[in-house]
Every structure is written in C-alpha cells, then in structure tokens.
Amino acid sequence: MHNEKAAVELEDVSLIFGGDHPADEAVLAVHDINLTIPTGQFVAVVGPSGCGKTTILNMLAGLIPATKGSVRRYGSEITGPSDDIGYMLARSALSPWRTARKNVELGMEIQGVPKNERLTKSKELLRRLRLEDFADSFPSQLSQGMNQRVAIARTLALNPDLWLMDEPFGALDAQTRLTVQAEFIELWESEGKTVIFVTHDLEEAVLLADRVIVMTARPGRIKSDTIIDLPRPRVLDELRFDEKFKEAEHRIWRELRDEIV
C-alpha cells in the first residue's frame, strides 16, 4: 500500500552540474538534502534564485539523476519519468492550435484513454475550474489566468499521485493570482494528493502549504522546515488577516531574508 511508505524521500542527495571536461567548471547545485514527505502532504519550497529548488523537482520527476544519494517514491528509486507524476511550470505551455478541452485531453490521448472517457474527464475538470463555458476556446482567446487554469486541468487529468509545481502562478498578475490560488487549493483539498510546490512568494507558500521548506543560497541545503498549523479547508481571503498566519510568515521570512541578502 502507498500510504504505508513516504510519498517522497531524498536521502543524502547532492547534485553536481558539469565538470565532465577540464574547461567545464563543476557546480554543486544542491548538497546533502534529506527530506521525507508523507502521502497527501502539501509542501512549499522557498529560497533564493539558483538555490536548487527546480533541480529538486527535476530529480523527483526523473528528468535528472542525483550525483550522490537516493531519490525515492513509495520506497522505490526514481529512475526516469513516470505517468503518475504531474509537473506544472510557470508558463502554461498550451498547444495554441488545440481548444481548452483538447489541451486538457492531450496527456490522456497520448496514453490511449478512450474518447468518451477523455471527454467526461475534461468536462469535469473544466467545470471545477470554472471554465466550462470556454471549453471550445483557443489559448489566444483566453486570459493568462484562464490558460493557467487549463494547464492545471491538463496536469490533473491523468490523476497523478504526485504534483510537482514550479511557480505555477508566478506569471499571473496579482489579482488573477489570488483567484487561481483559491480555486487551486479548493481542488487540491478535495483530492488530497502529495504536492511539492516551488514559489518565490512567501505569502503564497504559507497560505497554501502544510509545511514550508527554506533552502540556503547555492549550494542549496535545507535551512529550516516549518509545519504550518492552520486549519483546513482554508479560506484564503480570511486567512491573510489571521494572526497565526502572519506569525508563521514572519518566522519563515527571518530564515529566508539572510539567504536572499
């Protein structure tokens, strides 16, 4: 059973880029990372630019191997990409020639899911992200926020066990971001999947996550690991003014500030 094992384990993980040739300088990107994430936990990772946040996601996605240490999911070593991992980036990267619905169905098509099943699933996800009226619109006809919601639906259409998210709302304007955050957290709370969420926005990290990891400047190490003790389901508009939220944000900011400086 999945639940008996941690969803994700990184044990003594380091990654070195380059250094294969004498003229090619080796760069230690992350160093001695130890991290265990139980099934269903929402973990946010924050830290200065270049500290290895995306590198960790890429190792978990099976896109790059660790130089040293062990990267496991449910107790098994990760050796390459897997269908039960959803990976979402800051840019929606939708296919401009496909409608919103057809973009949501793309991964299912590649996997050979039958047409009627694809249609049912895409309709349901677009409805939950309040996009059902735009199913036949193309990305160029939609706002940036709508396109990012289509990208969320496309990621979730394959029902992955692990959601890897690399600043998924980073390209949105402030107002749109608030709306998409609220819709996303409502969707996640109903699914309860394991999430590793990289962000530069500390408020976003504390609002959404069960736990916030702060990384040091390169080479990236884990500097602090804080449980966010706020009840769920979370109403983000109200939570922003909650004293416990502000206190957690200030505490983590003190850890982060020194690394950014």
pLDDT of 259: 85
3-state secondary structure of 201: coil
Written as six digits, the tokens of 23 are: 């003229």
DSSP state, residue 199: -
Q: Are residues 153 and 171 in the same domain?
A: no
Q: Are residues 167 and 189 in the same domain?
A: yes
pLDDT of 208: 96
How far is Cα 3 from Cα 141, in angstroms, rounded to an integer? 42
The helix-helix angle for 115-128 and 144-156 (nearest 10°) equals 130
- Rounded to 5 degrees, φ, ψ at 260 are -70, -40
Q: Are residues 71 and 192 in the same domain?
A: yes
- Rounded to 5 degrees, φ, ψ at 181 are -55, -45
Written as six digits, the tokens of 258 are: 């020194």
Question: Which of 159, 178, 193 represents a domain boundary (last residue)?
Answer: 159
Question: Which of 119, 142, 159 represents a domain boundary (last residue)?
Answer: 159
Q: Are residues 22 and 75 in the same domain?
A: yes
Q: Are residues 128 and 232 in the same domain?
A: no
We report the CATH number of the domain holding residue 79 as: 3.40.50.300
Averaged over 179-201, what is the pLDDT?
91
- Rounded to 5 degrees, φ, ψ at 211 are -160, 135
What range defines the domain where residue 228 resides? 2-84+162-260
Q: Are residues 55 and 112 in the same domain?
A: no
Number of structural domains in the chain? 2
User: pLDDT tens digit string along 231-260?
Assistant: 899 988 889 899 999 999 999 999 998 887
User: pLDDT tens digit string along 55-65?
Assistant: 999 999 999 99
Assign 1 a pLDDT band (cuts: 50, 70, 90): very low
DSSP 62-90: TSS--SEEEEEETTEE--S--TTEEEE-S
CA dihedral 213, 214, 217, 223 (to 10 degrees): -90
pLDDT of 19: 65
pLDDT of 115: 94
Q: Are residues 167 and 255 in the same domain?
A: yes
3-state secondary structure of 15: strand
Q: Are residues 131 and 213 in the same domain?
A: no
Please state whether the predicted TM-score (pTM) of the whole model is above 0.75.
Answer: yes
